A and B are shown apart, each in its own frame.
Chain A
């Protein structure tokens, strides 16, 4: 039932194997001329309206961010003054950042978020690629059952499992541990589906040639299929990493110890602890937002590509 929903992911997945052609297209698009009217630069009345609307919307979308940034550089007194202005009476200051770094556990939370998100991403990508290869290329008893179960499970909302999962964490003694944060998040059936679709498209002849030369299944997987799959593996990694980095509900449930909180959960405790410190709240939020934004600025193309490729399979 979920299969048709995710199927089109295969199409952009196929694009990944022709990165140069795609890049050429994107570049010409960025250059200003567009496919809608090839060869012609038409900015008529509609073009002008489009630009104006687009600029207004883009500013609207950036404003909440800029306002919060401005507030984070105000003194607490200025951040609580009425009426609020963009430029504070007392000038901009780093007070809030200094205070939040002194009293908060932000570096610890940052480390926890990095550790758990990277672990989740590695486990998901490794286990999903292996099982997707088995689904795509190998025959084994019960394959069909396992495949149907995996696809069907895409529909299960993780939120309905919180109680039994917590129960299980108690039984495994994993409450308030890194493993408790990591393991329940380390399964992504939708990503198995995305990868299987990709492997299905890789011509079998490539592997056959190597197998004629005596290479086993495992060697074929590691030396032929994995290198070919680098773009899709990157896309899946990006998707899983963003999800894990920003996940709130599960880490919030399974951790209590302040030294084990992830960044999103830690921020929630800051909010309750210093509820009226506006500048500090904003400084903490900006600090928490910064890592992923920096990553995005460096890997913009890959991230956008990754989301477009896995998006339909990922929800």
Chain B
């Protein structure tokens, strides 16, 4: 990656260092970190915190290195296992627990971070995950293990903490700074929660970076390119597409679009369904009712996907997938061809192209304008995915880019850039979702459109509706719908720090800002007094500053036992926590990601030695796996070893929450019963306006009368007006928002309301 950068245009060289008290020990100027003096230079790592796997990298001396764990693996499973003795394990060893101790093994937590308890995603996870997801204050959620409840940022912090340990072992010095990547389509709630996770893990999060942008940086850094590229990123749980223009050292995101409900695990679900249906047709036994069988199916499905990345046909063998009540043992044996698989998942792949159409259109380009297509994410190893993408973009995707590592590498490049005094790349990113403010009629008016570059700030001025009004309520949303309820509520706050006055006299400036992390903040200021109340827009279910401090103080993250550390001779060693699995279950690990992964019957695997029993593990460079294995650790107790389910634990299986329903009537009953109490209309949050918490009028709106605020205007005596720059109050009566024309009880709006399109 070494290269000569053209000097950027600009005047940094002219800065007078004496006037700038640069923070830390890195004075401004051209002083590069001393090469080969890693102990002295400031280190910052890049972490790709994935749904199913995470990866950490660092850039030193101009070279980007992916930091492997003690077992030589570039990626570490994003799985957290809670042992009965209180210890916590993260990674592939933890993943092996899913089968044995599903209720203590948290996987796919990225799908839950920054979500409300009532969200679809949480519903799905509750239906299929064995660990307990419970509701917390303000529609938040926690994961409950025994009596302990963990917030999602805390779970993510445990994964980050493991990645940090890997980095520290490999780099040989403490690491406190990181760039963490998120899907480009993550909303503010999810970004904020991820940033909180970094803090809990003891990391200063230099930047929340979009995954596709990181991939583009890794691709284009230091190459002096002038190209337009698309990053097609299909991860475990999310799909993102970003279109970028790379102009030398500037990486400008032209547009981004995505789907946070589409990922490789949806592919797995299709195959699980097929296998379960076939099995049910053949035997009359529904495997979906048996968690262990289901886990085996998931392992097999993920293995098949990986196998089909390399072969045209794979053999699926699941011996003893289930033993029925009468003691009969059933197996699954079936071959699966690429063509059959394509038929299963083709519509999923096709659905990404609708998102691509949108991104290209927003970027103002067509496919043939693109100079390159970069594929990111494990599923892009499937030839069928590559073929379909090639067909859509009418060009060959770029070769030679590791789809599992490229994001962490880009994050590492950016991290290095942020701690160095040399700025070698400029990332000009965009906000993926429109920022909106709640107005009358449960509508949400756009303040900052999606694909607007960040950082950005917009101010609106509002006034009160009633004489002597005490406070105003401000609700902030993200999303593309004019209907408030179809957007994500980022937060709401009540502002009362203003000089009370007659209606229309008070002027309150509300400033919306999106920073370079894509994180939103909102400030309200009284023009008369200059008094301000600002808020980090906090997910109602998110962590408050106090809660965050409490979590950091409690430091449960310290219970994570790093698998990768340095021994007294400064050698990196691995310590697979064997006590966490039954003694007769071989603990294994995948040697390298690229090793031939054929499928899936356990015998095959062992014979092909892609996965090695620990005690047979060869010496891996820089790795000395711990050998001893306590025979009966607390997590191993419980007799699982008799269940013939050892094979999945030998596989590098996906830990993602498959989106499949359960057929178990009891479970469905319990689930829906559980849920009905908790389903909350997002639009109804904060509908409990109290007393004088009235709505605001925007003072500098054009003379249409948008009514901002709560849902109960009628009872509260009517909403307040948003007043135009050129507004004449007299002309604006009666107070009816445009969109509310003809709205009256019992009126069918659908005939009349076809004019509700968002102006583009």
Co-assembled chains A and B? no
Residue ranges of B at the interface with A (Cβ–Cβ < 8 Å): none
Residue ranges of A at the interface with B (Cβ–Cβ < 8 Å): none
